Amino acid sequence: MKRPSKSQSWIIVVGLALQILVPLTKHIPGAAGLWHTEDPAKFYSAFATFFGIQLVLMSGTVLLLVKSLGNELTDKVTDALPVTNVRQMKDYEFYEHFQAAAEQAEHSVRIAYLAPYPPMDVPYKGRKKYYDAMVSLMKERSKVNFRRIVRKSPKNDPWIADLVRELVNRPNVDLAVLTRDLPPEHDLPLTLSVQLIDKDKVWIVAAGSHETQDEFRDVFIQNGELAVAMEQYYDRIWSISEKLLDRGRPTPAAQRFLSGGK
C-alpha cells in the first residue's frame, strides 16, 4: 500500500489534533463552564455547538485530503466503478478513433470487414490511408494479436489474396473469410460487424449502411461487460469462417486464394 505524502500526513495529524481538542475543552479554564452547567438548555446548546465544530473539522480534513490526493483518488474511484462510454461516429471519425486505439492496444485487436466490395472501391483517401495503416500495424505490433474477418465476394477476393501475401508468416496475425452469409448482391450482411480492442472497447460498425448517410454510421462503447459478450459473438462468427492464416501460417484455403482457385 502506498504511504501518504508529507502534506497528507500533516493534514491527518492536524485534523486529529483538533478533533481531540474539542472534547478536551471541558477541562480548559474558560471553556469548562460551558459543559459544567445546571441549565440543560445551555448544556445542549454547547453540545450542539461543539458537535458542529467536530463535523466541520472532520469535513475539512476529508476535503483537504481529497484535494491533496487529486488525480490519484480520481483514478482509484474510476477503477472501482464500471466505466461506460458511448459515442456515435461518422465513418471518418471511426477510422481515426479505431486506428489510434489499435496503436495503443495491449493484447488483442479484432476486425471485421463485411462490405461486398474492397475499401479501395470507395473514392475516399482517408479510408485507403486507414486500411494501409492497419496492415502496417499488424506487421509492426508483433506482441498484439490481430484477427481479421473479411466477407467473401468476387470483388473482395483479390484484396483478400493481397492480405494473405502481406501478412503471411506473421505469428501475431489470424485471417479468415466469412462465406456463410447473404450473397454479395446484398450490400449489408446478416452478420453484425463488431470490432474489439483488448477487453473493454467495442465498435459496432456499419449497422445500417457501409457509408455514413445519417448523423452517424458507427457506435463506440467502452464497457468491460459488453466487450466480453461481443467477443463471444465475434468468436462465434470466427468459428464458422474459413481460416486463411492461422498465427501467420497459410492454410490450404489460403493456397487456393493465392493460386486463384478460391
Cell of 244: 486463411
pTM: 0.69
**Count of alpha carbons within 13 Å of 133, Cβ hemisphere only?**
15
Backbone angles phi, psi at 216, to 5 degrees: -155, 160
Q: Which residue type sits at 97?
A: H
Task: Compute the chain's Rg from CA coordinates.
Answer: 31
260: region left, alpha or beta (phi > 0 left; psi from -120 to 50 alpha): left
User: Exposed/middle/buried for 3, CB within 10 Å: 0-12, 13-18, 19+?
Assistant: exposed
DSSP state of 238: H
* pLDDT, averaged in runs of 10, over the chain (262 residues): 58 62 62 59 57 61 62 60 82 95 97 95 85 96 98 95 96 97 94 95 92 86 94 97 97 86 60
Contact (CB, 8 A) for 118 and 155: yes
pLDDT at 165 (0 to 100): 95
Strands (DSSP E) found in 162-241: 173-178, 193-197, 201-205, 218-222
Contact (CB, 8 A) for 38 and 47: no
Contact (CB, 8 A) for 194 and 148: no
Backbone angles phi, psi at 82, to 5 degrees: -65, 135
Q: Residue 14 and residue 112: Cα distance in Å, rounded?
A: 59
pLDDT at 32 (0 to 100): 59
pLDDT at 1 (0 to 100): 46
Q: Which residues have C-beta within 8 Å of that of residue 128, sequence separation ≥ 6?
A: 119, 120
Contact (CB, 8 A) for 185 and 193: no
Q: Where are the alpha helices (DSSP H) in the chain?
A: 6-24, 32-35, 40-69, 71-80, 91-103, 125-140, 157-167, 224-240, 252-259
